[in-house]
A = this chain, B = another copy of it.
Amino acid sequence: MRVVVTGGGGFIGQKLTRALLARPEISRLVLFDTAFPPQLPQDARLEVVRGDIADSATVARVVTPDTASLFHLAAVVSGAAEADFDLGYRVNLDGMRLVLENLRRCARPARVVYTSSVAAFGGDLPPVLDDSTIANPQTSYGAQKVIGEYLLADYTRKGFMDGRSLRLPTIIVRPGKPNAAASSFASAIVREPLNGVEYDCPVGPETAVWLLSPRRVVEALLHAHDTPAEAWGVNRVLNLPGITATVAEIVAALGRVAGPKAASRVRYAPDARIQAIVRTWPARFRTPRALAMGFRADPDVETVIRDYIADEGITPA
C-alpha cells in the first residue's frame, strides 16, 4: 500500500515515519514537506518530495490515485498564520483543498488522518471543555483548522475518502529550536534547561496547558487510522485526551526529573503577543468519546519528560 505523509519532514511527521516504516504492509511511504532533516531513515520504500502544498502540479504528483492512506500534518503554525494572514490561508486552507481534490481521484477511497488543534476553541468558554463544546477559534490558525475539519467531513460524507480529524493538544517536548508556534514555550521550558540553556518564558508560571507527548500523538495518529469507519460514524472530529499542567507544574516536574539547577534555568519574560494567543486556548477538557474509542493520554508530566530524554538520547545538563 502507498501511504503519504504531508508535513513528513516535521517533528511529528518524522516520528510517524519511523512508526509507519515498521508496518510491512506499506510498500511505499511518500513524505512531502518544504524541508527535511539531514538524516532520514534508510529504507527503500521511502520517497521524499520537497515542494509547495499550494502548488497543484506538485500535490498531484504526491497524492496519486493509488494512495491508500494519507496523514495530513502539513501546516503553517499558529504564530506564523497569525502574523501572515495570506500565507496561513494559502497553506492551511488552499493546500488542504488541493490534497482533498487529488484524493478524490483515488481508485479506492483513501483513509485520511488530519491533525487539527485545540486552537479550534476560544471565545467564551466553560471552565472545562468537552465533546459538546462549539469550536469558536480566536486565531486564524484555529479557524483554518476548523474549516479543514468541515471540508474533510464533507468529502468523507460524499464517499470520496474516509477522513478522521484529531484535535491535538500542545505537543511537548519538541526537540530542536523554539519555532514560530505560539505554543513553542511549552517545550522550551523543558528542552532548553535540559540543554543547559537559560530560557525566557514568554508566558507566566500560572499559564495552564493541555498537553500530550510525541509518543502518544504518534500512537493516536495510527489508532485514528486503524479504527473502522463505524467507530466514527457521522462525527469525524475528535478532541484527543491530554493532561493539564501549568508552566510552574511543568518546571517543577523538570526539577524532579533533572534536578533543581535545570529548573532554575527557566525565567519569565512575558510577551504580550504570545500571551494574547495562548490565552485563547483552553487547558482543561473532558474527552469521554476519545477515551471510549481507545485513545489515551500520558500518565503525568514527569513521564513525558523522561520519555523525551529517552527518545531523543538527551544527557541532562
Asked if residues A124 and B235 are in contact (CB atoms below 8 Å), the reply is yes
The quantity of this chain's copies bound in the complex is 2
- Whether A140 is near chain B, meaning CB under 8 Å from some CB there, is yes
- Whether A240 is near chain B, meaning CB under 8 Å from some CB there, is no
Known contacts A85-B158, A134-B132, A158-B140: A234-B124 contact under CB 8 Å: yes
Q: Which chain B residues lie closer than 8 Å to A134 at the CB level?
A: 132-135
- Whether A238 is near chain B, meaning CB under 8 Å from some CB there, is no
- Whether A138 is near chain B, meaning CB under 8 Å from some CB there, is yes
- Whether A163 is near chain B, meaning CB under 8 Å from some CB there, is no
Q: Which chain B residues lie closer than 8 Å to A154 at the CB level?
A: 137, 140, 143
Q: 1/0 per position for A125-137, CB-CB distance to B under 8 A?
A: 0000000111111
Q: Which chain B residues lie closer than 8 Å to A153 at the CB level?
A: 136-137, 143
A124 to B235, alpha carbons, bound, how many Å? 8
List 12 interface pairs A-B (beta carbons < 8 Å), by A numbering. A122-B234, A123-B234, A123-B235, A124-B235, A134-B134, A138-B234, A140-B154, A140-B158, A143-B157, A146-B150, A147-B147, A147-B150
User: A residues engaging B (CB < 8 A)?
Assistant: 85, 122-124, 132-138, 140, 143, 146-147, 150-151, 153-154, 157-158, 233-235
